[in-house]
A = this chain, B = another copy of it.
């Protein structure tokens, strides 16, 4: 997946960066799923990414400055991938994409609850989420975010839907 620079149009250039079927999925899992390691991304991938594709995309995202990579001090072979400001600022795009998909595509209820909450929360929630990501990935903002994190809230809402649906089935 080379960068062609077909034109200097912002939409075109954005597509050249993440206009494929995997790059945004990986970033989604890092942003909303909190994944930081290769194996986490590989084994918990809902869509079943192949290891060679994952390796290729991670390398590409590193080159593009959307991610950084560091050694994990707890395990010599583990690498920790971090978001950069560039990828943290994809949150509004993810939110819009989720909102659009929720309306027009056959989404599953439990997987769209996050998109729904993100849409309801609007830019205020997005900003709070982005600040949390900056704290987590860039070490910016000295003290921890107060109260429950946005990601934890979204995750809790997701699990509540799953629990409700399971109860409905077994009832």
* Copies of this chain held together in the complex: 2
Q: Is A61 an interface residue (CB 8 A)?
A: no
Q: Name, among A9, A89, A96, the residue most crowded by chain B CB atoms within 10 Å (CB to CB).
A: A9
Q: Is A55 an interface residue (CB 8 A)?
A: no
* A5 partner residues in chain B, CB cutoff 8 A: 106
CA distance A25 to B15 in the complex (A): 9
CA distance A87 to B20 in the complex (A): 19
B14 pairs with A101, CB closer than 8 A: yes
* A48 partner residues in chain B, CB cutoff 8 A: 6
The list of the 7 closest CB pairs from A to B, nearest first, reads: A8-B108, A10-B101, A6-B47, A14-B101, A13-B105, A10-B98, A9-B111
Taking beta carbons and an 8 Å cutoff, which residues of A are in contact with B?
Answer: 5-17, 19-21, 24-25, 28, 46-48, 86, 89-90, 92-94, 96-108, 111-112, 115
Kindly list 5 other residue pairs between chains A and B, CB separation below 8 angstroms, not including A9-B111, A19-B20, A92-B96.
A8-B106, A10-B115, A12-B47, A14-B98, A19-B21
